[in-house]
Amino acid sequence: MKLEGFGLFVEDMAVMVRFYRDVLGFAIRESEDATNVYLEKDGTLFLLYRRSDFEAMIGRKFSYAAGLCGHFEIALSVADYAAVDEAYKKVTAAGGREVMPPATMPWGQRTCYIADPEGNLVEIGSFEKGV
pLDDT tens per residue across span 60-108: 999 988 889 888 899 999 999 999 999 999 999 999 999 999 999 999 9
Element (H, E) at 74: strand 69-77
11: which residues sit within 8 A by CB, 6+ positions away?
A: 50, 51, 64, 118
Is the pLDDT confidence value at 111 over 70? yes
Whether 31 has a pLDDT exceeding 90, the answer reads: no
Q: What is the pLDDT of residue 3?
A: 84
Q: How confident is the model at residue 48 (pLDDT cuts 50, 70, 90)?
A: very high
Distance CA 101, CA 113 (A): 7
Query: Do the beta carbons of residue 111 and residue 125 sit within 8 Å?
Result: yes
* CA–CA distance, 130 with 113 (Å, rounded to integer): 20
3 state SS of 48: strand
Q: Residue 30 corresponds to which amino acid?
A: E
| Residue 78, pLDDT score | 97
Q: What is the amino acid identity at position 18? A: R
**pTM, full prediction:** 0.90
Mean pLDDT, residues 24-39: 86
pLDDT, residue 131, reads: 64
Give the pLDDT band (50/70/90) at residue 33. Answer: confident
